[in-house]
Amino acid sequence: MRYHDTLKHFMAAGAAALALGAASAGADEFTRADLEKWRKEFMAVVQEGERLFHSGKLGGNTVSCDMCHPNASNTHPETYPKFQKQLGEVATLRQMINWCIENPLEGKPLPLDDPRMVALEAYITYERRGVKLDPGKH
């Protein structure tokens, strides 16, 4: 109750931003604990991506991504988007992931914002950490 009263007061004073900041730590202010938490969230998704990448159930024929791409090598996430002559257009990594799911894995493509797609992208990119961005490279 008191909080709302205070909020009203500040809003009336035209200092809403300041008040929100004080109530829930500003967008530009985070702690070590936050960093750790976000890292954990990220690594959990990477781990799920690693699991899917090595799973025979992502596609339809028991074949898994790692059979051609151990440690996600030879996927070159740093080069996307790039022109894929086989598709005749500039494509993203997610489109290529779906291409692999549909063809060598004989499965159904994932929606581009599917959490599994995000996890696969996270794992593939994480295994390539430290390599500089080079969009368009072949």
Partner 1 sequence: MSVEKITRRSFLKRAGAVAAAAAAPVSLVEIAWGRSDARNFTFAYISDSHLTQIKGTKFVSNFDRGLKRAIAEVNFMSPKPDFVVFGGDLAQLGKRAEIDHGLELMSALRAPVKWVVGEHDFYLDMGEYWAEKVAPLHYSFDHKGVHFVVLNSILTYEDWIRKWSTPEERMLAMARLDNPQGSPFMVGDAQIRWLRKDLAGVSSDTPVVVLSHSPLYKVFKPWNFWTDDAEKVQAELKRFRKVTVIHGHVHQVLYNQIGNISFYAMMSTAWPWPYPVSYVQVPNAVPKLTVFMNRADPHSERDGTGWGWLDLDSGRAAMHYELWENRPRTVRFDPKTGRPVDTVYQDPDKRIPPQMHY
Which residues of the shown chain bind partner 1 in the complex (CB under 8 A)? 54, 61-63, 66-71, 73-74, 76, 86, 99-100, 103-104, 127-131, 138
Nearest distance from C-beta of residue 102 to partner 1, angstroms? 12
* Nearer of residues 34 and 134 to partner 1, judged by Cβ: 134
Question: Quick one: 14 or 130, whose CB is closer to partner 1?
Answer: 130
3-state SS class at 75: coil
Query: How far apart are CB 112 and partner 1 at their closest, in Å?
Result: 19
Token digits of residue 73: 């090598």
Q: What one-letter code names the amino acid at 70?
A: P
Alpha helix stretches (DSSP H) within 13-114: 16-24, 32-53, 93-102
Residue 104 or 109 with smaller CB distance to partner 1: 104
CB atoms within 10 A of CB 109: 15
Least spacing, CB of residue 33 vs partner 1, in Å: 28
**Length of the chain measured in residues:** 138
CA 108, 113, 118, 124 torsion-angle sign: positive
Min CB(38)–partner 1 separation in Å: 22
Cα separation of 55 and 134, whole Å?
A: 29
Cβ-based nearer residue to partner 1, 96 or 117: 96
